[in-house]
Structure 1
Amino acid sequence: MSISTNQTEPQISILENYLKVRTLTNELCAPLQPEDFVVQPVVDVSPPKWHLAHTTWFFENFVLKPNMADYRVFDKDYHFLFNSYYETEGDRWIRSERGVLSRPWVKEIMAYRTYVDDHMRAYLSDEVISNNTLEVLTIGLHHEQQHQELLVYDLKHILGINPLFPSYKSFRGEVSDTNLEEEFLTVDEGVYTIGYQGKEFSFDNEKGVHQVFLHRYRIQDRLITNGEFMEFIEAGGYQDFNHWLMEGFEWVKKQNIRAPFYWFKQDGAWKHYTLAGLEDINPDEPVSHVSFYEADAFAKWKGKRLPTEFEWEVACKMHEPEIPESANFVDNRNFRPIPRQGENTQFYGDVWEWTNSAYLAYPYYQKPEGALGEYNGKFMINTMVLRGGSYATSRNHIRPTYRNFFHPHLRWQFTGIRLAENF
């Protein structure tokens, strides 16, 4: 998805991309029942209905209102209800109370999406779009893809804490040629360039191209599996303070953490909730739903460490510069991490990988003006960087320089582990 200044065929492509992205959001919600759309079990989870409305509000507010002549908003109250965190755009409904919004109804939100999509279709078909508007539109498409991923996280949380363990979608995929051999990829000491240098779309937090010096290191050629993490649990890893950061061990004790999120033992066997329902844990699948604290403790237990985000980026560019066909994204509709196949290094897809890097601005970072300047920079505090994407990420959304970020205690998102070491 690129920003083009050509106003003929590329504009048609923008419309096609717009409709494709919007259709996927609706598809992700298709298996839900009306009662599912409003549930908010914790503050980090947003009701599916809110995602549907907020992503629509983005296009209405940032594309149609300032650019389409005589555009009339669908409902004036939606600006207050479905603004997320844009202080520039005025007051908004509090995040922790999104689940109390039984009104507007789901059918009204779907009518809102149709209304905005119809106007966007007309606008993109008839108007000459400025470069600035194309940039905002492209951000909006990537913004919706981010919410599609969050939507899948949230759906799993909503369904996964239900004692009935309902299935979202059954898994019909076939996994063959599983390869769990472990090797470590070598990166020699040197000065390396970090940051996005291409001409396609990237977020502002990837910019500020700069150089870093890295000592020689090795990085694992695949993700840590469920079976390997079970060994950590059975060895008493959650009880041994020696493996843990102090803040992490306090979190473990206070929250009584004993396994990754959605894991529990039943009749002596490990089970977990998946989007296909309750299942026995496949030891060959990449471990998921671990916090930064758990990932860091596991690495120390293994006598290794987590890579920095710079080490991860350099190794990815060096050893897997292109996304392989076997990479597991939402495009595959697997809705779960799958065992490593063939020589796929799993740098892309399956689960986001915790790094040992705090989320900070790159040198030369410049915050954009206006509301879109609130997109990334304001969150550069108390979070850790993750890389690589997950099975809920769109293939065309990810790249080696993409920087995701979450607070270190969170684990409802699809997060896993890759190890590194110096030598």
Structure 2
Amino acid sequence: MLRDRFLKTRNRTQEICSPLKTEDYSVQPMADASPPKWHLAHTTWFFEQFVLVPHKPNYAIYHADFAYLFNSYYNNLGDRVLRPNRGLMTRPLVTEVMDYRRHVTENVAELLDRDDCPAAVFELVELGINHEEQHQELLAYDIKCLFGNQPTFPLYGRVYNLPNETHEQEFIPVKEGLYEVGYDGDGFHFDIEKGRHKVYLEAFEISNRLVTNQEYLEFIQAGGYQNFNLWHAEGWEFINENDIKAPMYWHEIEGEWFRYCMEGLVAVNPVEPVMHLSYYEAAAFAEWTDLRLPTEFEWEVASHSFSWGKLWEWTSSAFLPYPRFEKKAGAVGEYNGKFMVNQKVLRGASVSTPQGHSRPTYRNFFHPHMRWQFAGLRLVRS
């Protein structure tokens, strides 16, 4: 039942924040990350603006300032606080944001209970649930970034642990041919997955597992971060400008490598999949191995042949619209379409992806320099 899923999703977001102290909620460790308090409020604002304001009779806005404070990028819905400034908002208080969540949650649940609830509400609540699930994953990234940049490396909890890559590497052959890609079904999906269409693929082979920490450590020790021949020009500039010499959260201490995880600072486990790589790093590693990253279509066509879901996996594909892609009118149309420039597609899911939120056609996307998301890589050979 949609109402039950809605309430479960709302509760889950607050459970993710439950290990935090009050002082943690407003901190923004970098411009790409958002404070936990902002996530709690923004996902609430989404339901208020998209569901309650247009569809609940006599609904009164909870607070006049919240639409400005907690809008993300929806120009159709007015001005907003600039993203890098979200961490400056110590007000409203955390308790006020929790009151806001409670108010909006109760009103949406009440609307869903009504016999005359408009049909459009069910579609918007479904979108809102999936939107909040996306923010639940972003919360995991942002909380890890918040704690992982502190000198004491605080413990969050024993969660989001990566399973080891226990299989010997094998390469799964995929025949040359014409294949269909894109979403085909009646369940929820985002607009960017629609437009099922045919793609022609040359024969290729794809690894049955992700690249491990040990394999990536060999790349580091071989001077991978010092060899400009392996890097895209932008990637070489990026790692040198930012003095990057290892994956995010890795620290070399007295000749030994450690990484920050939700349990604190731990020794790098050689058989875990390597994570927190930018596209630039993933592509440079693939170049070093004389292999390559898959295209998003190669990944989708082959995905039934291997286990996936530990980490989002970088592909070499630019984030572009499928055939017959159409943006919806108004603010809902701003959800994905306007980001189809200068971004790379990642496929799969991660250990922080909410249950039921992943599917083989899901197209995640990030700028090539971003590293704080739970991302790794799988290799392909032609």
> TM-score when scaled to structure 2?
0.98
1:372 maps to 2:335? no
Find the residue that maps to 1:270 and give its secondary structure. Answer: strand
Residue type at the aligned position of 1:391: V
1:75 maps to 2:75? no
Closer/same/farther in 2, CA of residues 54 and 174 from structure 1, 3 Å limit: closer
Query: C-alpha displacement at 1:412, in angstroms?
Result: 0.7
Query: Partners in 1 of 2:8 and 2:123 — Cα distance?
Result: 18
Query: C-alpha displacement at 1:126, in angstroms?
Result: 2.1
1:139 maps to 2:127? yes
Residue type at the aligned position of 1:401: T
Q: Which residue of structure 1 lines up, in the alignment, with residue 379 of structure 2? A: 419
Question: What percent identity do the matched residue pairs reach?
Answer: 51
1:184 maps to 2:171? yes
Query: Partners in 2 of 1:187 and 1:257 — Cα distance?
Result: 36
Closer/same/farther in 2, CA of residues 222 and 173 from structure 1, 3 Å limit: closer
2:163–2:272 Cα contact (<8 Å) kept: no
Query: C-alpha displacement at 1:174, in angstroms?
Result: 10
Closer/same/farther in 2, CA of residues 94 and 408 from structure 1, 3 Å limit: same
Find the residue that maps to 2:225 and give its secondary structure. Answer: coil
Q: Number of matched residues?
A: 382
Instruction: Note the 1:204-283 alignment, pairs <5 A.
Output: 204-283=191-270
Unaligned runs of 5+ in 1: 1-12, 320-344
Query: Partners in 2 of 1:180 and 1:229 — Cα distance?
Result: 17
Closer/same/farther in 2, CA of residues 115 and 172 from structure 1, 3 Å limit: closer
Residue type at the aligned position of 1:37: Y
Closer/same/farther in 2, CA of residues 82 and 192 from structure 1, 3 Å limit: same
Query: Partners in 2 of 1:168 and 1:239 — Cα distance?
Result: 34
Find the residue that maps to 1:306 and give its secondary structure. Answer: coil
Residue type at the aligned position of 1:61: Q
Q: Which residue of structure 1 lines up, in the alignment, with residue 158 of structure 2? A: 170
Query: Partners in 2 of 1:369 and 1:193 — Cα distance?
Result: 28
Query: Partners in 2 of 1:55 and 1:403 — Cα distance?
Result: 21
Query: Partners in 2 of 1:175 and 1:62 — Cα distance?
Result: 38
Residue type at the aligned position of 1:370: G
Question: 108-117 vs 68-77, which deviates more?
Answer: 68-77
Alignment RMSD, CA only?
1.4
Q: Which residue of structure 2 lines up, in the alignment, with residue 291 of structure 1? A: 278
Closer/same/farther in 2, CA of residues 290 and 175 from structure 1, 3 Å limit: closer
Query: C-alpha displacement at 1:180, in angstroms?
Result: 3.0
Query: C-alpha displacement at 1:222, in angstroms?
Result: 0.8
Question: 243-252 vs 161-170, which deviates more?
Answer: 243-252
CA shift digits 1:204-239 (9 cap, x unpaired): 001111111000000011111111100100111111
Residue type at the aligned position of 1:117: T
1:352 maps to 2:339? no
Residue type at the aligned position of 1:350: K
Query: Partners in 2 of 1:174 and 1:299 — Cα distance?
Result: 22
Question: 375-384 vs 92-101, which deviates more?
Answer: 92-101
2:162–2:310 Cα contact (<8 Å) kept: no
1:180–1:284 Cα contact (<8 Å) kept: no
